[in-house]
A and B are shown apart, each in its own frame.
Chain A
Amino acid sequence: MKFANEIKELISYREMLRSLIKKDLRSRYRGSVLGFLWTLLNPLFQLLIYSVVFPHLLKVSEKNYPLFVFVGLLPWIFFTSAVSVATTSIVSNSNLIKKIYFPRLVIPFSVSAVSLINMLFGFIIAFAAIIITKTPVGLSLTALPAVILIQFLFVTGLCCIFSSLYVYFRDFEHIVSVLLTAWFYLTPVVYSEDLLSGKVKLISSLNPMTRIIYCYRQILLYNSLPQFSSIAVSAAYAIAVFIMGISLFSRLQRRFAEEI
């Protein structure tokens, strides 16, 4: 079983995975005065911008619109930052790839994990806002870890696919950025799914990110468990993309050191 071997090797290099994550989190804010605090300040400022700007620009029916956007935006940023950083990650770590042996999967996994951790910091702000605005939350929170896991598998799978393809096709960086912009408008992040109709609604419902963001909102905003079908569909997407990503990556990685 090739897939199992890849995962097993990755686990034996977990210390490297941990160091890469730590290195990334620490070096990102190194040199800035507020340092690690930025991890919290960034989402906080975003939340403030949404609560000040949007109600003035748009007529929104959503009653707690800033929080509505924020809860959708956190998983979206996790997704989009992981995928765009991961795409070039193998090439930007060429000094390691060319000189040292280690399971190459460590790299896309660490990128995905860093974005996940940043989202979790954002959730601290989200929870504070939930408490301040007296939005009811309850037992449905128990479903949150499952949703996070599903999204992590989905995002990591995509990171593996894009990072390995980019080594062979450098155009991919630009394709990915166009793709992510289009994807953003097809995902109900700043608007509500109910606004869609016809074909767009159909496309949007096939979009795994729509399902995932819907799950987060059900849990955090509406204090209810997401429909089982939504969880099942996104889990199926996630597992399929994850397995596909790792198999593609393990096939393409053999020539990484020569191609970069």
Chain B
Amino acid sequence: MDGCCIKAENVSKKFTVSSGGSTLKDTMLFRKNRACSSHCVLDGINLEIKKGEQVGLIGKNGCGKSTLLKLFSKIIYPDSGCITVSGRVSSLLELGAGFHPDFSGRENIYFNGAVLGLSKSEISQRLDDIISFSELSKFIDSPVRTYSSGMYMRLAFSIAVSSSAEILLIDEILAVGDAAFQEKCQRKIEELKNSGTTLVIVSHDESAIKRLCGRAVYLKDGKIAADASPDEAFEIYKNSD
């Protein structure tokens, strides 16, 4: 595992699309004639990502990019094959998951930090940074339900990037808040990149991938169609239709 922090070996993932319900009755009575079709989302993926590398995952909707990211973050598990991840992972799959609307911004920082696996003192250390990065110091003690969706996203993003994880998994969330804040997010991610954080980014934003990543993986129908520099990968992606 030296120098390699994410390794996927021959990983496959199927999703079962069943038409029946999942009640006891359905399972017991209609076991045989249950119409199940399975859809293979990832098919024999082999991928190694080294420590400190920045990788973009690109491809059409439904090609398995987000599924791969979920597998890396251990939210779901592969049907076959093996994934090894070493290092602390912070996943920005959806911002603000687990925010409690009735609690203040400050309380949610503590709760969300704890969900990311930080201890109370680690969160306290980062509290000021998080608040100032989010530019919400005026509203930090009001309940999150009073926030606008932009404010909500800013707070969530600030927590996620402050968790000082070694591996950051980002799913299409580079567009947070207004133009100025987006600019700030991009700078923050670049800063993390320079400090050696491993990044895996799923995005349709070509320029962002080109700016942030040194490598891009193009997924097509559950297989890796290209693994190259962002310029080359996008070239193949565009010509493949």
Contact = CB atoms under 8 A, between A and B. Distances in A.
Interface in B102-139: 102-103, 110-111, 113-120, 123
B131 to A, nearest CB: 18
Interface string A176-203: 0000000000000000000000000000
Interface string A1-43: 0000000000011011011000100010010000000000000
Contact of A27 (B24, B89, B102): B102
A228 interface: no
Contacts of A13: 114, 117
Interface string A132-153: 0000000000000000000000
B103 to A, nearest CB: 7
Given A100-B75, A257-B75, A16 B114 contact: yes
A101 B102 contact: no
A15 B77 CA distance: 25
Interface residues of B, number: 33
B194 interface: no
Contacts of B196: none
A259 B77 contact: no
B15 A100 contact: no
Given A100-B91, A100-B98, A258-B15, A169 B23 contact: yes
Nearest to B94: A99
Give the most central of A13, A15, A255: most B CB within 10 Å: A15
A68 B21 CA distance: 46
A254 interface: yes
Contact of A16 (B70, B76, B117): B117
Interface string B17-41: 0000111110100000000000000
A102 B91 CA distance: 11
Given A13-B117, A100-B98, A257-B76, A23 B103 contact: yes
A102 B115 contact: yes
Interface in A97-129: 97-102
Interface in B76-113: 76-77, 89, 91, 93-94, 97-98, 100, 102-103, 110-111, 113
B12 interface: no
A101 B89 CA distance: 9
Interface of A: 12-13, 15-16, 18-19, 23, 27, 30, 95-102, 168-172, 254-255, 257-259
29 contacts: A15-B113, A15-B117, A15-B119, A15-B123, A16-B114, A19-B114, A23-B103, A27-B100, A27-B102, A27-B103, A96-B98, A96-B115, A97-B75, A98-B97, A100-B73, A100-B91, A100-B93, A100-B115, A100-B116, A101-B74, A101-B89, A102-B117, A169-B27, A170-B23, A171-B23, A171-B24, A254-B76, A254-B77, A258-B76
Given A15-B117, A99-B97, A170-B22, 18 more contacts: A13-B114, A13-B117, A15-B113, A15-B119, A18-B114, A23-B100, A27-B100, A27-B102, A96-B97, A99-B91, A100-B75, A100-B91, A169-B23, A169-B24, A169-B27, A171-B25, A258-B15, A259-B22
